[in-house]
Structure 1
Amino acid sequence: ILDEPTNHLDIAAVEWLEGWLRERPGAEVVVSHDRYLLDRIVDTVWELSLKGIETYRGNYSAYVQQRAERRRYHGARYRAQQDHIRREQEYIRRNIAGQNARQAQGRRKRLERLMREQALARPEVDRTVRIDFGRVDRSGDCVLETRELVIGYPDSDEPLFEIPDLMLTRGECVALIGPNGAGKTTFLKTLLGEVQPWAGEVRLGASLQVGYFAQAHEGLVPENTVLDEILTVNPKLKRSQARNLLARFLFTGDTVDRPVEVLSGGERGRVALAKLALEGANFLLLDEPTNHLDIPSQEVLEEALGTFPGTILLVSHDRYLIDVLATQVWVITPEARALKVFVGGYKTYLEARQRIAEAPKARPASRNRRCPAEMHPKSPVERRAVEARIEVLENELSQVVHELEQAGDDLEQVRLLGSRYAELEADLEAQIAIWERLARDG
């Protein structure tokens, strides 16, 4: 039984968990808002509502389709029954005291029995957020340009990673991904000017209005009420207008007077999204915007971002959101201290990654990673050091795999080992890349 197992995991760890669950022979019950995970591992969906549990066969995408079909069917049946009731009521009203009184009385008894025994409930209307970023001013064609940019803190001895010269054009949606702690948020803050580059420069384009959604919502003042936070964006906004806006984000009545410090993570996220919608930004920097959002809210945000006319730079572990929105994927590899650019959506990135993994490589043929004599690099000492590091990493990976097999249902241990496995695998790939570079140079 897994309750939100992907929370706080980076994509590499989630992919490992997904593979482990797919290969595991037992049964699982998974509570999750990770739509991509649900698409790939489940064959039955239980939807919990106030009416109870409704069962759907298939994965998440099948559930979405079946749910829409069921709702259309129930809605059509309800409307047809309501039309029948109105017609019967009208007939009874017109004839109860006339020549057809006996027929009217009979119809009234049948109608009362129908209302008592067969009346259909009104179809439920989902109570979810309504996000609309509205019309935004057009920015220049070049939104972001970097020159010899290196991300890190100026007082640090070493940078986090180097970035190839980039040019981001208007209308693109970039997904920035990488392990936890790789520096994704630091990169966003460098673009915002809150953190100085370790080296190089960032140039923002003309006519830009930047909107930033912070992962930890640090832009919210804990002592402010929900209504106060909205008025900080536009003090001239009438309180009635602010309340109408907040109602779209599920804050109604006295809830608008609650202080930010007592809100849940999901509620703070909705306040931050409401402020962002009010800012009129044409360049959105979004740091984990779906964290703490339920699936209906994720779907609404996805639709709003999909129709957004500006430019988006998105940091997220939500593979479903990335798959739908991204036109480029930027991947941070901490071990190589580099950012790689993949043009195309998330599936294109996965296909490119798979091709790289499957391509014949000039690497040692055995598990000992021994180099063919004709490929010896110029620096035997450096080569041997890299080979030794590769061998150590392989041994550590084998040990982690063994520990994972022994972990059983200890979910916390599985999570920790999964993260460790992802770190070791990334480090191993980086060392192999170094070895191949040395081989080419040799």
Structure 2
Amino acid sequence: KIVNKILFVDKVTHKITVFDGNYDDYKTKAAQIRARRAAKIADEERRIKHLSDFVARANAASPTNHSIKKAGHTRAAQLQKILAHRTQRDVEYKRVKMDLTPLRDGARFPIMVDNLWFRYPGKKLLYRNLSFHITGGERFLIVGENGAGKSTLLKLIMGFLTPERGTIDINPKTDIAYYAQEQEQLDLNKTVMENVETPEYTDLQLRAALANFLFFDMDVFKRVGTLSPGERARVALCKLLLKRANMLILDEPTNHLDPETQMIIGDNFRDFPGTIIVVSHNPEFVEQIGITRMLVLPAGRIEDYDHEKLEYYYSVNSEK
């Protein structure tokens, strides 16, 4: 609803196409372009098969059958012309389903927050008597206006900050993997592969996992410091899932990711069998992973997930 022009860089042709309109307009027009391209490729494949079959029959014909031999040479020339100028194909990579099973089962109530108070020095209170619990296996969204303390709450749960009052009890059976917006868990001097290495996985398994996050072939040997913010985010998210924790805490996991990549990455988290706590301004990602409940800040109110309510909260926040 915000943009009125989109520049699309084609990953196959590397050409830039300008689309007028918003993102919904772009999706419609881009789908039409993909459909026309697919139809053109299908027609080319049909002609290639037809000419290839004819040339094969001509080559197998008797040497004395001059007419078929001549026709075979003509068709072979036509075939070479089509092959030389055919529409570029997308490089298709097979993504392997990751084993996301946690190393151990989590607790029925992995996190209990009771009468939590917190403020930064010299600032107003972010939470006063905030209480809630997390149920094992649920998808829990923290939503609220900017500055309401969404990311701060995640840092309190992780123990990076200390409450002014109240308690945060984490069940001993809770194994947490945490994704921070800053991606400080990455070593910029190491390669993509080195950043995700862990003794529990072979190199082949790691490459398969990285393929699920769109790192193929020689991509895995790039130094992380040379990557774009979006590519670094994909490395960090892959590393997160490879920890095989039973709880994921995600702070804006789709920041820096383009919409198509968000959908691919979201599939991995949708299949995760453990518990997820997430802060996200991305309604598509929230829908995709199957949010069950929401904590609305600063009110501290717990609500069952409702798409229309969430759209309202997002719209109010974007207007401020």
TM-score class, shorter-chain normalisation, is 0.7 to 0.9
1:237–1:105 CA distance, 2 compared to 1 (3 A): same
Which whole-Å CA distance do the structure 2 matches of 1:274 and 1:239 have between them?
Answer: 14
How far 1:268 sits from its partner (Å)? 1.8
Matched to 1:279, the amino acid is: K
Kindly report which structure 2 residues correspond to 1:76-87, keeping only aligned pairs within 5 A, or say none: 76-87=42-53
Match of 2:303 in 1: 342
Query: 2: CA distance between counterparts of 1:277 and 1:190?
Result: 22
**Distance (Å, rounded) in 2 between the aligned partners of 1:56 and 1:109:** 45
Give 1:283 shift: 1.2
Residue 128 of structure 2 corresponds to residue 167 of structure 1: no
Q: Is the 8 A contact 2:100 2:273 kept in 1?
A: no
Tell me, in whole angstroms, the C-alpha distance in 2 between the residues paired with 1:72 and 1:138.
45
TM-superposed deviation, 1:298 = 1.0
Q: Is the 8 A contact 1:328 1:344 kept in 2?
A: yes
Match of 1:269 among 233, 245, 257: 233
Q: Following the alignment from structure 2 to structure 1, what is the Cα–Cα distance between the partners of residues 118 and 146?
A: 16
Deviation at 1:269, TM superposition (A): 1.2
Change (3 A) 1:216 1:152: same
- The one of 78, 88, 93 equivalent to 1:113 is 78
Give the aligned length. 312
Q: Give the aligned residue type for 1:321.
A: F
1:95-244 matched pairs, under 5 angstroms = 95=61, 97-98=62-63, 100-116=65-81, 120-125=86-91, 132=98, 134-136=100-102, 137-152=104-119, 158-162=124-128, 164-205=130-171, 207-231=173-197, 234-235=198-199, 237-239=201-203, 241-243=205-207
Q: What is the match of residue 92 of structure 1?
A: 58
Deviation of 1:292 after TM superposition, in Å, equals 1.6
Shift in Å at residue 212 of structure 1? 0.8
Question: How many Å apart are 1:331 and its aligned residue?
Answer: 2.6
Cα distance, 1:65 vs structure 2: 5.0
Mark the runs of 5 or more structure 2 residues left unpaired by the alignment.
none
Contact 1:48–1:54 (Cα < 8 Å) also in 2: no
Deviations 1:298-355 (A, max 9, x none): 111122222222221111222322243332232323xxxx32333124324346999x
Give the equivalent residue in structure 1 for 2:288.
324
SS of residue paired to 1:165:
strand
For the 8 Å contact 1:78–1:123, the answer to whether it is kept is: no
RMSD of aligned C-alpha atoms?
3.7
Structure 1 residues 179 and 353: CA distance shift in structure 2, 3 A: closer
User: What one-letter code is carried by the residue in structure 1 that aligns with 2:51?
Assistant: I
Larger radius of gyration: 1
Secondary structure in structure 2 of the residue aligned to 1:166: strand
Pick the structure with more helix per residue. 1
User: In percent, how many aligned pairs have the same letter?
Assistant: 26
* Match of residue 415 from structure 1: none
Matching residue of 1:313:
277
Whether the aligned pair in 1 keeps the contact of 2:20 and 2:26 (CA below 8 Å) is no
- Is contact 1:342-1:349 (8 Å) kept? no
The correspondence of residues 34-73 of structure 1 with structure 2, limited to 5 A, is: 48-49=10-11, 50=13, 52=15, 53=17, 59-63=25-29, 65-66=31-32, 69-70=35-36, 72-73=38-39
Cα distance change of structure 1 residues 76 and 223 upon mapping to structure 2, 3 Å threshold? closer
- Secondary structure at the counterpart of residue 141 of structure 1: coil
SS at match of 1:221: coil
Q: Secondary structure at the match of 2:253?
A: coil
TM-score, normalised with respect to structure 1: 0.59
Residue 122 and residue 175 in structure 1: after superposition, are their counterparts in 2 closer, same or farther (change >3 A)? same
Structure with bigger RCO (C-alpha 8 Å, 6+ apart) = 2
TM superposition score normalised by structure 2: 0.78
Determine if contact 2:140/2:292 at 8 Å carries over to the other structure: yes
- 8 Å CA contact 1:134, 1:277 repeated in 2: yes
